[in-house]
Amino acid sequence: MQRSRATKILATLGPASSTEAAIEALARAGADVFRLNFSHGSHADHAARHAAVRAVEAKLGRPVGILIDLQGPKLRVGTFTNGREEIGQGQQFCFDRDCAAGDRNRVFLPHPEIFAALQPGHHLLIDDGKLRFKVLTVSDQCIATEALVTGVISDRKGVSVPEASLSIAALSPKDRDDLEFGLSLGIDWVALSFVQRAQDVLEAKSLIRGRAAVMAKIEKPQAVDNIASIIEVVDAIMVARGDLGVEMPPEDVPLVQKRLVRLSRDAGKPVVVATQMLESMISTPTPTRAEASDVATAVYDGADAVMLSAESASGAYPVDAVAMMARIVRRTEADPLQRQLMNAVAAQHSANPTDAIGAAINTVSDVLPLGAAVTYTSSGATAQRISRVRPRSPILSLTPNVDVARRLALVWGVSSRVSADAQSIEDIVAIASDAAQAEGLCENGRPLVVAAGVPFGKPGSTNLMRIVWPSEIAAESSTNESQPYQAGAAS
């Protein structure tokens, strides 16, 4: 199932897409990676979905990635005597330490870290910003505020504090339990919610210990302020525009999105654009034209992946939503202007052999009609660094490690294949020729360019590039057999 597009699709699984048949339909429609949202569902639900994805993966014969999305710390108000109260604009309202049920004038706020961080002039946002309060004074017992809008506040609604950096752990006890469970299943990516600083990522990595790659969801202004240090330590980022749009002005979100995509691409870290991309397809079979343009914008910018949330998890048209997103991506990538805009900000190369070979492959792909750039990699780093320069040719990544192949399912332009170990340059050329033939990448006499590292199996040692011409491909393919993909292969 060679994809005819470079930008990947991340689809969320849920009540509308939990069966093996439904997941297979989503994969055939275009989903490359599946997201398990641990804000909803039980461990048993997620284990069943994980097993179904792996069964579909084996049936399709190509690696499929699985990402778990941790809920993160949730800040909420307490309860009300009447369950809810209407608040008027200009009314004063107190968030306090009294655990008694609230009324029209006050409510319990069970988060001492908010009391410690807020200052007069800051804002408290309730229920995804539907209610906004300006902080007047802060004491040990009460945060006195003024309501800026009229609205209803009800039991256990969420609280956001956009201007304050909270001294709160990025991983709640629930997250730690969910994380260990997800790792026991053998997932490929872990998405961290409400990251504020690089230390949040490092804390999670100390628990994960290399068993999965780590993605930071950028959904707080503090994360945007600390983005350089976060990108340095994380494996990928997600532009989580829903919560980001709550905690900062909506008109700022497009600018932040473009900045995050650019910085991630420059660092060679995958970047996912998420939230409300085809929101109307939760209930209708077609998106709005604005939504189609939204997906296309991410593709024009060169994002690695675009994500569907409720559209594929609980909507009425999950397969149609994935198929529509794939159609928009393919049509956008076919526009000659897309490559010009994507490459308007050229990636800065580091002074190392891998980046030098990546730059060379990009140049070769502009000169020769390559069938593919083939990488032989043990860690996936070579494929990612070549993807970073966004070459014209497809990138075929060969690895003996099934975990690496699955993680690369998220990376722009990369098709992964589990291959046999290579012992020599001749082995690499033979394996690359067979794999490219099997993927249909050698049609019309197109040559391959092969990148690898000597000594073999040593991560970060990419130092070899070879152009393989059609006559060599035919000769190698007539005497060798490629390694079939095995979903259960050992790491």
- Read off the pLDDT of each residue in 278-287 and give the average, rounded to a whole number: 98
Active site residues: 35, 76, 217, 275
User: What b/e readout covers 165-177, taking b as 16+ CB neighbours within 10 angstroms?
Assistant: ebebebbbeebee
The conformational region for residue 457 under phi > 0 = left, psi -120 to 50 = alpha, else beta, is left
8-73+170-335 and 353-477 have identical folds: no
Where does the pLDDT of residue 378 fall: very low under 50, low under 70, confident under 90, or very high at 90 and above? Answer: confident
Which pTM does this prediction carry? 0.91
Q: Residue 400 and residue 257: Cα distance in Å, rounded?
A: 35
pLDDT tens digits along 17-56:
999 999 999 999 999 999 999 999 999 999 999 999 999 9
Q: Are 154 and 179 in contact (CB under 8 A)?
A: no
User: What pLDDT is recorded for position 346?
Assistant: 67
Three-state secondary structure along 147-197? ECCCEEEECCCEEECCCCCCCCCCCCHHHHHHHHHHHHHCCCEEEECCCCC
Average pLDDT over residues 288-313: 97
pLDDT tens digits, one per residue of 70-81? 999 889 999 999
pLDDT confidence band for 284 (50 / 70 / 90)? very high
What integer is the mean pLDDT of 408-437? 87
Cis before 455? omega within 30: yes
Whether residue 458 is predicted with pLDDT greater than 80 in this model: the reply is no
Lowest pLDDT segment from 49-58, 100-109, 343-352, 401-410: 343-352
Characterise 266 by phi-psi region: left (phi > 0), alpha (psi -120 to 50), beta (else): alpha
Residues in the chain: 491
pLDDT-wise least confident of 122-136, 185-199, 431-445, 470-484: 470-484
Give every strand in the sheet of 159-160, ordered side by side.
106-108, 92-96, 142-147, 131-138, 123-126, 159-160
pLDDT of residue 488: 47
* pLDDT for res 456: 64
Stretch 309-335: mean pLDDT: 97
pLDDT of residue 349: 75
Using the predicted structure, report yes or no on whether residue 344 has a pLDDT greater than 70: yes
Q: Over pLDDT 70: what percentage of the chain?
A: 93
Q: Any idea which residue has 């009324």 for tokens?
A: 103
Position 116 confidence tier, pLDDT thresholds 50, 70, 90: very high
Q: Quote the CA–CA distance of 145 and 159 in Å, as a whole number.
A: 14
- CATH class of the region 8-73+170-335: alpha beta
User: Is 222 a residue whose pLDDT tops 50?
Assistant: yes
Q: What's the mean pLDDT in 304-310?
A: 98
Q: Give start and end residues of each alpha helix (H) in 34-140.
A: 43-60, 112-117
**Which is more confidently placed, 457 or 292?**
292
Average pLDDT, the chain: 91
Taking 50 as the threshold, does the pLDDT of residue 481 lie above it?
A: no
Fold of 353-477: Pyruvate Kinase; Chain: A, domain 1 (3.40.1380)
Label residues 6-26 b or e (16+ Cβ within 10 Å = b). Answer: bbbbbbbbbebbbebebbbbb
The tokens of 397 are what?
């990544």
Max distance between CA atoms of the chain, in angstroms, equals 82
Q: Is the pLDDT of residue 489 over 50?
A: no
The model's confidence at residue 443, banded by pLDDT at 50, 70 and 90, is confident
Give me the mean pLDDT over the 475-489 stretch. 50
On the question of pLDDT at 15 being above 60, the answer is yes
| pLDDT at 455 > cutoff 80 | no
Percent of the chain with pLDDT over 90: 73
Helix H segments across 310-399?
310-313, 318-333, 336-342, 353-367, 381-388
Could you tell me whether strands 305-308 and 271-274 are parallel, antiparallel, or unpaired per DSSP bridges?
parallel
Q: What is the pLDDT of residue 282?
A: 98
Which position has the higher pLDDT, 10 or 164? Answer: 10
pLDDT in the model for residue 490 = 36
Say which CATH architecture domain 84-160 belongs to. Beta Barrel (2.40)
| Residue 406 confidence (pLDDT) | 98
Averaged pLDDT, 85-97:
97
Q: How confident is the model at residue 63 (pLDDT cuts 50, 70, 90)?
A: very high
pLDDT of residue 459: 65
Cβ burial, residue 5 (10 Å; 0-12/13-18/19+): buried
CA proximity to 12, closest of 2, 41, 4, 165? 41
- Listed by start position, the domains of the chain span 8-73+170-335, 84-160, 353-477
Burial of 455 (0-12, 13-18, 19+ CB in 10 A): exposed
- Among the listed residues 411, 458, 295, the one whose alpha carbon sits nearest the alpha carbon of residue 33: 411
